[in-house]
Structure 1
Amino acid sequence: MSGALVVSGLHAGYGQSRVLQGVGFELAAGQIVAVLGRNGSGRSTLARALMGLVPARGSVRWRGQELLGRPPHAIARLGVAYVPESRDVFPRLSVAQNLALGLQPGAGRPQRWTPEWVFDSFPALAARRHVAAGVLSGGEQQMLSLCRALMGAPQLLIVDEPTEGLAPQVVAQVDALLRELRDQGLAVLLIEQKLDLSLAVADRLAVMGHGRLVFEGSANALTGSRDVVREWLEV
């Protein structure tokens, strides 16, 4: 698939602990694939492995180039952005300074998203542009983290649990932003626990269990697979 992420036979873990057990899937431009699963299923390890943050073997090809073995900064320069579950804003720097750190001048890709776009799109961040990121609410930090990732003009966005602990109105903002990014041609890999959100926003869904994909398909296929939902998703 040209312009796609193609993952095959991906194994990864921490020390002697093997978490991912041969994961494989594809993600094209203009698609959202949501990866679901219980805590401990390997979803966050998958995101970290794709970004070069944990040792891995197998193959991760992005737009025809192999990512495995490259350091995270080199993967980012190829147009891949990662928003971790921890958000990782720089707490002592202002909102505007956090956004500036995400810019990649000379990346060779169209700069669709700018700090001005952020402040036009998210009035709450505009009102606090000179405020230290560490005093923002959880929802404001999440939007800042997502927007900072966009400053590098990515073509693939990997976002881990973007709605965890957020109020419904902020979840709706995240939902709308992800849809907008997809419509603008980004490939989005969404690591998520909320089944309702994933069913609403994703083009395809993948369910992980014990480090493997136990299901991959459409929203209709997943809702029709009650055994998969009951065994791998319900608490």
Structure 2
Amino acid sequence: MTDALAVSGLLAGYGQSRVLQGVDFELAAGSILAVLGRNGSGRSTLARALMGLVPARGSVRWLGHELLGLPPHAIARLGVAYVPESRDVFPRLTVAQNLTLGLQPRSTRPVCWTQEWVYDSFPALAARWDVAAGVLSGGEQQMLSLCRALMGAPQLLIVDEPTEGLAPQVVTQVDALLRALSTQGMAVLLIEQKLDLSLAVADRVAVMGHGRLVFDGSPAQLLASPAVVQEWLEV
């Protein structure tokens, strides 16, 4: 696998407050990197910086393109999709309309994920295709948000806390979807708090603390580093 995403010396924050203190990592196509850390460690700011949603300095290269300085819509057109923790469905639009908004009309990438695929894979969404997204359950909204992102045929998926507050059966669905995307060659950056999920699904795990990566290695290496888990992850 070749590295598709290369982040170097990334600094980002809000106003005068700097959150990211210099983040470096690489992510290969077809692999899942889980970024763990306590609340306030900088994980969500990292996702937003990669997507051009907060001011940032340093370098974020994606398939040879420098992303820093580009607006979010231009980053999306380069094959990067972002699913925020807040899910951000369009509540007054139907499930079908939300999915349609995920399409990238100018994209030349082959579309593997269609509305038919969504409905076949997630019968709960198929049954509510004409229902306003705002009345869906939290789990249904999460799956809709993920599927809307896939409608744009991304090559990199940045997903923030996809299982927060979800029932166990929905967590299992999210887990299976992320694994399937990886096997199809997509690079996945998973922002997560749940250690067990991250260790189960990720090829590599990074731990953030005070705006920096304090650990970057395999799930097995993290399990063999109880001091890291205790200092940076345990409450």
Q: State whether TM-score is above 0.5.
A: yes
Are 1:193 and 2:193 an aligned pair?
Answer: yes
Q: Can you list the C-alpha shifts for 1:27-79, whole angstroms capped at 9, x where unaligned? A: 01000000000000000000000000000000000001100000000000000
Cα separation, 1, equivalents of 2:129 and 2:96: 5
Report if the CA contact (8 A) 1:2-1:64 is conserved. Answer: no
Q: For 1:206 and 1:200, how far apart are their aligned partners in 2? A: 14
TM-score (norm. length: structure 1): 0.99
Shift of 1:174: 0.1
Give the equivalent residue in structure 2 for 1:153.
Answer: 153
Distance 1:202 1:39 in 2: 20
> 1:88: Cα distance to partner?
0.2
Q: Which runs of 5+ in 2 are unaligned?
A: none
After superposition, residues 49-60 of structure 1 pair within 5 angstroms as 49-60=49-60
**How far apart are the structure 2 equivalents of 1:150 and 1:55?**
26
Contact 1:87 1:142 in 2 (8 A): yes
Cα offsets for 1:102-135 (capped at 9, x unmatched): 0112300000000110000000000000000000
5 Å matches for 1:25-36? 25-36=25-36
| Residues matched between the structures, number | 235
Determine if the alignment matches structure 1 residue 41 to structure 2 residue 41. Answer: yes
Alignment gaps of 5+ in structure 1: none
Counterpart check, 1:211 vs 2:211: yes
Write out the 4+ residue segments of structure 1 that deviate beyond 6 Å after TM superposition. none
Post-superposition Cα deviations, 1:155-181, rounded to whole Å, max 9, x if no partner, equal 000000000000000000000000000
Q: Which residue of 2 aligns with 1:112?
A: 112
Secondary structure of residue in 2 paired with 1:143: helix
After the TM superposition, which residues 168-179 of structure 1 pair with which residues of structure 2 at under 5 Å, given as runs?
168-179=168-179
**CA–CA distance in structure 1, aligned partners of residues 165 and 2 of structure 2:** 36
TM-score by length of 2: 0.99
Alignment partner, residue 17 of structure 1? 17
